[in-house]
Structure 1
Amino acid sequence: MSQHAHLIDLVSSEKSVEILCVGDIMLDRFVYGSVERISPEAPIPVLKIEREDAMLGGAGNVVRNLLSLGAEARFCGLVGEDEAGRTIAGLLNEDDHCCANLLLDKNRPTSMKTRFMASNQQMLRTDHETVAPLSQNLQDDLLLDVAESLGNAKVMVLSDYGKGVLESETPTHLINLAKKAGIPVIVDPKGIDYSKYRGATLVTPNRKELSEASRMKCGDDASIVAAARHIIETCGIENVLATRSQDGMTLVTRGGDVVHLPTQAREVFDVSGAGDTVVASLALALAHGASLSDGAKLANVAAGIVVAKIGTASVYSEELIEALHHQDLSQAEAKIVQKAPAKDRITRWQTQGKTVGFTNGCFDLLHPGHISLLKQSASQCDKLIVGLNSDASVKRLKGDERPLQNEMARATVLSSLACVDMVVIFDEDTPLELLSHLLPDVLVKGADYTIDQVVGADLIQQNGGRVFLANLEDGFSTTNTVNKLKKS
């Protein structure tokens, strides 16, 4: 199984999950044109308008991402009685997998951002909005709508853009409703008072937001973790996922676990709406029963995709699956290591207190017997190294017709397995020289040997390590398979 097979299965699952989003929805308008002259009235460019476009923004972009990732989306929020509000309602109703409960407020306009674009450059943005809290009647109506929408929801997302929907006690009441229904709550926060999100399963501040809310510096890994723990302890929030732009993400849990995820972005064109993609992909993962750690990994990959797009964009499940496959291939290649750097990596693992195991073989045609050996080997250690006989070595051991697959093909197959952490190719007939260089903690060989017959057993034991004899699966042999093929 590949490193990301479980995440790929999650994204490609045909099982339908419903996710409820509550928050500040807005309309993102884009006015495109060209600039050919400067205005005679003032030293400003004149934009000759060629076309206009509109899409869901704010919490609406969370909904767009949920839908593009294959989820069933429900939305509860508010718009004004105006053209922008009617456009939002129409956009939400375009997708059969979206169900929206929109409250109407006669006393405020629908939040709308208008961006004026020329030659792929943003020239100006105008905001049309009111940020006052909802009236008590509208707050009550929103809570009623949410309570009625929780029935089939697996996760609730609170998307706070500071436009008034999630002010005062409203977030607390919404989180309590979700908790009573037994569903997790993910919050994309706003402002500096995170105590209003007390009881939330996870908040997803960016670096600047985390620094402002904690009133602590957030420069390096240690300071990010300290600030996140401060938020957890003082605001009653269970977990924090801090998004850190070029430095990736950091997940800090109430239980004390810390997971640093390096950035997945190859090119960054526009970070608009990346936070929406993060919470949507996280929500999808949790809705399918994934762990927070796996959800963060999925969100990190999704964010790396969306920042390479222009404008407020969403990520499609097909893109996410392709990116996960690409990572598997890249990580598999990174596991194939030469002897010298392999020793450096092993020393680092052992310094971290990890147990390093080693097994070896030709692995010409990978079969269930090989898989059993590798899984048993991995169960004996934290990190498993596979010593792989080179083509020349296999030829000397097995005959001129072998190997059937060259050493890089065999190494690539082995390194694609989740239970294998490193593959080192050796040219000798036995792995003794390689073992003396690497000095693993555990040496694994098949139980058709006795310990005194295992090459390198004395060396490993004298160095404080141990030898484990793995049970063999009967009836599997590459040599026998080759002979059968010859006879057929």
Structure 2
Amino acid sequence: MDIADLSDLLNRIEGCRVLCVGDLVIDQFVYGETRRVSREAPVPILDEKRRETMLGAAGNVIRNVVALGGKPVLVSVVGDDPEGQTAASLLQAEGVDPAGLLAIKGGRTGTKTRFVCNGHQMLCVDRDPDGTLSAADTAALLDRIRAAAQQADVAILSDYGRGLVSRDVSQGLIAACREAGIRVCVDPRGKDYSRYDGASIIKPNALELTEETGIDIRGDDSALAALDAAMARLERTDAIIVTRSSAGMTVRERSGETRHVRSRPRQVYDVSGAGDTAISMLSLALGAGAGLHLAMRAADRAAGVAVGKVGTATVSAAEILDDERAQGFEDARTKLLTADAAAQTAARWRAHGLKVGLTNGCFDILHPGHVSLLRQARAECDRLIVALNSDASVKRLKGEGRPVNNEVSRATVLASLASVDRVVIFGEDTPADLIEALAPDLYFKGADYTVEQLRPLGGDAVERHGGRIHLIPLEDGHSTTSTLARVARSKS
């Protein structure tokens, strides 16, 4: 993902108004140490050292929206009990007005209490609200939803299976949001997604989608089959996105379009709350006007930061940018491949259904024309490989004094670009042998070439393997030669 695009998006979501509807839970964590066993039963005694209380379930979505720079409004229910008062106080501490909370007379607020010893959870105790909402309470809740929808840019329905998200509430929210002209993103729970039909996006994880469809998701093909099965049961839903842990996300849109967003390999410490982070980032991006695929990539990046933390931690915009910058430096080292490794990588990508693109050049002094060509090329394929002329071949092609930058420097700069997935250095005067080995689906060159000129330089191998030559319009006024000429004139 281009860091400039990500930075621009994170700036745009600042202040985005998000209506959050869903089950609210008070998360309690009791931390301590265990050194002895109870005399009353064969169980360890936890010596409590500290206790933390925070908003959970839909409340954790609220925390993530706030951390990312959004302005949430929560509509939910609590009991008329001390825990309900705690929920209101915690919302106020996040800068969120608790006026959207409906206190149920005689009801109780949902809680989840975890007992943690030396970093390991010993026991988890749940307390669910009593029963389902009455008709009067449902009507009062829907009144709050309709009023809040008129002031929102996007809505999130966070179903944690605690009794709030009935069919009436779900369909009432969707109707109110359609009337207000805003999207609804659903984090589902349980079977029968028909109660969410009409939402803009339903975002189950792989296990949840398996429960809904009966299709065990083990790879791209089974993920797409499960998405097709779920979409076939819905008439008005725009898209379903399945989050697949380290495999990333896959979307099936009403139009029939499908797309995979791949996650980077990461050290995972705790997946708790990563789904809340993902739905928050996805919804904020859509509310700020981003397209679905950009919103998915941003959500994947945010969730990736979340799994690197312990507990139901939130993620800020600054953390996402810092992570993307750090990953960019790491990528620059890992993207440089030998010709054999590049051929194996390209074959593996194609086996996963990815469209592989290739371009080549000297890229001696990287300029805006180069950047534009690479970005346009990457937009046309799933993975882009850059074949880079070695120092010796540049000297043969360009003459004495070239290259200005050696091949390692040039490869490192190229590899730092988000639009470039891999870089391979070749020593021949043309990339024909490398193209034969890589067999790209698309071969990109600037429109100062013609297809006929490129065929003897390797383009014929592209076409023989079923690929296509794609010419990209160039930006006027940019070239390494003209840059060097300007430098020479400035010194004279």
TM-score of the superposed pair, with normalisation by structure 1: 0.87
Alpha-carbon distance between aligned partners in 2 of 1:123 and 1:139, rounded to the nearest angstrom: 37
The alpha carbon displacement at 1:331 in A equals: 4.6
Counterparts in 2 of 1:390 and 1:203: CA distance versus 1, 3 Å:
same
Name whichever of 29-38 and 351-360 sits farther off: 351-360
The alpha carbon displacement at 1:358 in A equals: 3.6
Match of 1:473 in 2: 476
1:200 aligns with 2:208: no
What does 1:67-86 align with in structure 2 at a 5 Å threshold?
67-86=66-85
Name whichever of 319-328 and 465-474 sits farther off: 465-474
The alpha carbon displacement at 1:415 in A equals: 3.6
The alpha carbon displacement at 1:4 in A equals: 4.3
The alpha carbon displacement at 1:191 in A equals: 1.9
The alpha carbon displacement at 1:335 in A equals: 4.5
Match of 2:26 in 1: 27
Amino acid at match of 1:9: D
SS where residue 73 of structure 2 aligns?
Answer: strand
Alpha-carbon distance between aligned partners in 2 of 1:53 and 1:163, rounded to the nearest angstrom: 22
Amino acid at match of 1:250: T
Unmatched 5+ residue regions in structure 1?
none
Name whichever of 364-373 and 224-233 sits farther off: 364-373
Counterparts in 2 of 1:200 and 1:50: CA distance versus 1, 3 Å:
same
Alpha-carbon distance between aligned partners in 1 of 2:227 and 2:378, rounded to the nearest angstrom: 34
Amino acid at match of 1:61: N
SS where residue 414 of structure 1 aligns?
Answer: helix
Match of 1:121 in 2: 120
Amino acid at match of 1:93: Q
Counterparts in 2 of 1:311 and 1:380: CA distance versus 1, 3 Å:
closer
Whether the 8 Å contact between 1:73 and 1:99 is mirrored in structure 2 is no
SS where residue 53 of structure 1 aligns?
Answer: strand
Alpha-carbon distance between aligned partners in 1 of 2:380 and 2:220, rounded to the nearest angstrom: 31
What does 1:131-146 align with in structure 2 at a 5 Å threshold?
131-146=130-145
Amino acid at match of 1:299: A
Alpha-carbon distance between aligned partners in 1 of 2:380 and 2:217, rounded to the nearest angstrom: 39
Match of 1:16 in 2: 15
Match of 1:220 in 2: 219
Alpha-carbon distance between aligned partners in 2 of 1:467 and 1:129, rounded to the nearest angstrom: 59
The alpha carbon displacement at 1:123 in A equals: 1.4
Counterparts in 2 of 1:49 and 1:341: CA distance versus 1, 3 Å:
closer
What does 1:33-182 align with in structure 2 at a 5 Å threshold?
33-96=32-95, 100-182=99-181
Alpha-carbon distance between aligned partners in 1 of 2:249 and 2:357, rounded to the nearest angstrom: 28
The alpha carbon displacement at 1:230 in A equals: 1.8
Alpha-carbon distance between aligned partners in 1 of 2:249 and 2:469, rounded to the nearest angstrom: 38
Alpha-carbon distance between aligned partners in 2 of 1:140 and 1:202, rounded to the nearest angstrom: 25
Whether the 8 Å contact between 1:265 and 1:303 is mirrored in structure 2 is no
Q: What percentage of residue pairs aligned between the two structures are identical? A: 40
Whether the 8 Å contact between 1:232 and 1:238 is mirrored in structure 2 is no
Alpha-carbon distance between aligned partners in 2 of 1:99 and 1:61, rounded to the nearest angstrom: 15
Amino acid at match of 1:152: Q
Whether the 8 Å contact between 1:131 and 1:162 is mirrored in structure 2 is no
SS where residue 113 of structure 1 aligns?
Answer: strand
The alpha carbon displacement at 1:309 in A equals: 1.9
Match of 2:322 in 1: 322
What does 1:80-479 align with in structure 2 at a 5 Å threshold?
80-96=79-95, 100-236=99-235, 237-264=237-264, 266-344=266-344, 356=357, 358-361=359-362, 363-371=363-371, 386-395=386-395, 401-417=401-417, 420=420, 422-429=422-429, 431=431, 434=434, 442=443, 444=445, 447=448, 457=456, 460=459, 473-474=476-477, 476=479, 477-479=482-484
Amino acid at match of 2:238: E
SS where residue 42 of structure 2 aligns?
Answer: coil
Counterparts in 2 of 1:218 and 1:438: CA distance versus 1, 3 Å:
closer
Counterparts in 2 of 1:457 and 1:80: CA distance versus 1, 3 Å:
same
Alpha-carbon distance between aligned partners in 2 of 1:353 and 1:64, rounded to the nearest angstrom: 36
Could you list the per-position Cα deviations for residues 270-319 of structure 1 after superposition, in whole angstroms to 9, with x for gaps in the alignment?
22222211211111111121222222222222222222222221111111
Counterparts in 2 of 1:355 and 1:315: CA distance versus 1, 3 Å:
closer
The alpha carbon displacement at 1:86 in A equals: 0.9
Unmatched 5+ residue regions in structure 2?
none
The alpha carbon displacement at 1:133 in A equals: 1.3
Counterparts in 2 of 1:481 and 1:333: CA distance versus 1, 3 Å:
farther
The alpha carbon displacement at 1:411 in A equals: 1.9
Counterparts in 2 of 1:169 and 1:5: CA distance versus 1, 3 Å:
same
SS where residue 169 of structure 1 aligns?
Answer: helix
The alpha carbon displacement at 1:19 in A equals: 0.6
The alpha carbon displacement at 1:239 in A equals: 1.8
The alpha carbon displacement at 1:360 in A equals: 1.9
The alpha carbon displacement at 1:385 in A equals: 5.0
The alpha carbon displacement at 1:117 in A equals: 1.5
SS where residue 337 of structure 2 aligns?
Answer: coil
Alpha-carbon distance between aligned partners in 2 of 1:95 and 1:480, rounded to the nearest angstrom: 58
Whether the 8 Å contact between 2:13 and 2:287 is mirrored in structure 1 is no
The alpha carbon displacement at 1:33 in A equals: 1.7
Could you list the per-position Cα deviations for residues 78-132 of structure 1 after superposition, in whole angstroms to 9, with x for gaps in the alignment?
1111111111101111233656511111221111111112111111121222251
Whether the 8 Å contact between 1:364 and 1:478 is mirrored in structure 2 is no
Amino acid at match of 1:195: S
The alpha carbon displacement at 1:266 in A equals: 2.0
Amino acid at match of 1:480: A
Whether the 8 Å contact between 1:77 and 1:101 is mirrored in structure 2 is yes
Alpha-carbon distance between aligned partners in 2 of 1:308 and 1:451, rounded to the nearest angstrom: 47
Counterparts in 2 of 1:265 and 1:309: CA distance versus 1, 3 Å:
farther
Amino acid at match of 2:488: N
SS where residue 51 of structure 1 aligns?
Answer: strand
Whether the 8 Å contact between 1:439 and 1:460 is mirrored in structure 2 is no
Alpha-carbon distance between aligned partners in 1 of 2:171 and 2:53, rounded to the nearest angstrom: 32
Whether the 8 Å contact between 2:243 and 2:249 is mirrored in structure 1 is yes
Alpha-carbon distance between aligned partners in 2 of 1:446 and 1:168, rounded to the nearest angstrom: 56
TM-score of the superposed pair, with normalisation by structure 2: 0.86
The alpha carbon displacement at 1:39 in A equals: 0.8
SS where residue 445 of structure 2 aligns?
Answer: strand
Cα RMSD of the aligned pairs, angstroms, is: 3.3
Whether the 8 Å contact between 1:131 and 1:163 is mirrored in structure 2 is no
Whether the 8 Å contact between 1:372 and 1:473 is mirrored in structure 2 is no
